[in-house]
Structure 1
Amino acid sequence: MTCSAALASALILTLTGPTPVDAPPAAVVTGAATLDAALSDEPLFRDIVTRAGVLKARVEAWTADGTGLDPAFPASDAFRALKSEAEALAALDLQAHHWLAQRDADGDLKCILRGIAEDMPVRLAAIETTEGPARAEALAELAHLLDDNVAVILAPPPPAA
């Protein structure tokens, strides 16, 4: 499966609703063996989940109170801080992609993390360059991407084929 197809599949699966916070962590499959520790136990993946959750809550708050729709919002210190933190998160997602690649781990998660890393700047740019309903949509899409970032790491592993 190509990385684009894997990302699309994962995003479609997350549309069914939010993943409970206490969902079992995903296992990393390497050929016939499974890595001993769950991904959510790895510091890198734990950091990604924490950061994405915090950023998602911030974006949702700005959507709920209308802050994100203010025409001056993209120039605000609050948005610049979010943008910097989201770019750092995207770098961590890419680092996690490489971490999985070095271990010959599951291709789907590896590709999904790379896709999220590549999509984050696109979502941020959309917030910067749109207004009104288009910006509301861009904020919602960023919140969804951040939710996906958490969900793909905490999702239970797929059933064995």
Structure 2
Amino acid sequence: MSCDAVAVSALLWFAAYSPGQAAGPAPAVQQQPAAPASVAGEPLFQDIVKRARQLKTEAESYRKTLAGADTAATAKALKGFDAFSGKIGELSSLDMKGHLTLKARGAVDDLKCILRGISQDLPEKLTAVGAAKTIKDQDLALRDMVYLLNDNIEVITAPPQPAA
């Protein structure tokens, strides 16, 4: 590049600068939404987590009683299943209460929707356990129940995330 070309470039560059001219608007930057406050310390949600943990332990215990049995055999009667069923119904109601509580607060995060889904899924999983005809079906239904109860615990105790 010749010296004349460099001089012209410098002249144009300096000419474009005006000391009295205010800087233009800052470039737009998309702000990330703030994560919602955690509800894990609130009594309702602590109760949900406590109950879900207890029921998960019971469901895992039921699965242990099935271990080693012939998978094609007729499903076993599960000791205390009626009480277990009642507790699942109570947990389902608490999950719906949690959903409604968050909805009333105007929450826009995923937790309120997940709690509603779990509330609806718990009775379905319970029905599948009760309707199982074989040990294999019973074990699979209990496994699904354990996963759902674990999800119930983790969605409340996990750090909150901004709405998707």
1:47-100 Cα shifts (integer Å, max 9, x gaps): 000000000011101112328x873425x4x11111000100000000000000
In the TM superposition, what is the alpha-carbon distance from 1:134 to its structure 2 partner? 1.1
1:88 maps to which residue?
A: 90
Partner of 1:142: 145
Between 1:105-114 and 1:93-102, the stretch displaced more is 105-114
Distance 1:64 1:148, change over 3 A: same
**CA contact under 8 A between 2:92 and 2:120: conserved in structure 1?**
yes
What amino acid is aligned across from residue 160 of structure 2 in structure 1?
P
Which of 103, 117, 132 is matched with 1:115 structurally? 117
CA distance in 2, matches of 1:57, 1:148: 14
Q: Over alpha carbons, which structure has the higher Rg?
A: 2
TM-score (norm. length: structure 1):
0.70
SS in 2 for 1:87: helix
What's the offset of the Cα at 1:32? 6.1
The structure richer in helix per residue is 1
Amino acid paired to 1:93:
D
CA distance in 2, matches of 1:32, 1:56: 32
How many residue pairs are counted as aligned between the two chains? 126
CA distance in 1, matches of 2:163, 2:126: 37
Q: Report percent identity of matched pairs.
A: 40
Counterparts of 1:120 and 1:160, CA distance in 2? 24
In structure 1, what residue type is equivalent to 2:151? D
Tell me how large the CA RMSD over aligned residues is: 2.4
Alignment-mate amino acid for residue 109 of structure 1: L
Q: Matches of 1:52 and 1:123 in 2, distance apart? A: 14
Confirm or deny that 1:56 pairs with 2:62: no
CA contact (8 A) 2:109 2:162 kept: no
- What is the TM-score with the length of structure 2 in the denominator? 0.69
* Contact map agreement 2:118 2:152 (CA 8 A) in 1: yes
Match of 1:152 in 2: 155
**Separation of aligned partners in 2, 1:55 and 1:64:** 14
Unaligned runs of 5+ in 2: 1-32
Write out per-residue CA displacement over residues 5-46 of structure 1, whole angstroms, 9 at most, x where no aligned residue. Answer: xxxxxxxxxxxxxxxxxxxxxxxxxx86844xx311110000
SS in 1 for 2:62: helix
CA positional deviation for 1:156: 1.4
> C-alpha distance in 2, partners of 1:32/1:54?
33
Residue aligning to 1:65: 65
Q: Deviations along 1:84-136, whole A, 9 cap, x unmatched?
A: 00100000000000000000113411110000000001000001111221111
Distance in 1 (CA, whole Å) between partners of 2:138 and 2:145 is 10
Q: 1:104 to 1:72 in 2, by over 3 A?
A: same
